[in-house]
Amino acid sequence: MLDKIKKSVSDVLSGGKGQSDNGPEAGAVTNNRVQASSAGGDGAADEPESNLYECPSCDSVFVAIDKETCSSCRTPVEQIE
């Protein structure tokens, strides 16, 4: 089962070309993403700020840019400060 998961992740990272995870292209997509995100300085200007929200009814916690109701019980959520 773990081998299937590794192969699926490897296929996704290699663009679905079925390359093995030990070839020269392995991790290239991930490395490019890391380099791209660190090349722009702090990166805070490019990404919207997310917030934490908590549901007072079922105690679920969400990370979102904007959240009004709980996905589980549809109760209005409160932003955690």
4 backbone dihedrals φ, ψ, rounded to 5°: -65, -40
CB-based burial label for 53 (10 Å; 0-12, 13-18, 19+): buried
Per-residue pLDDT of 15-24, as tens digits, reads 655 544 455 4
Residue 61 pairs in a beta bridge with 54
pTM over 0.75: no
Written as six digits, the tokens of 14 are 């290699």
Domain definitions of the chain by residue range: 2-39, 51-80
Min mean pLDDT across 45-49, 50-54, 59-63, 73-77 is at 45-49
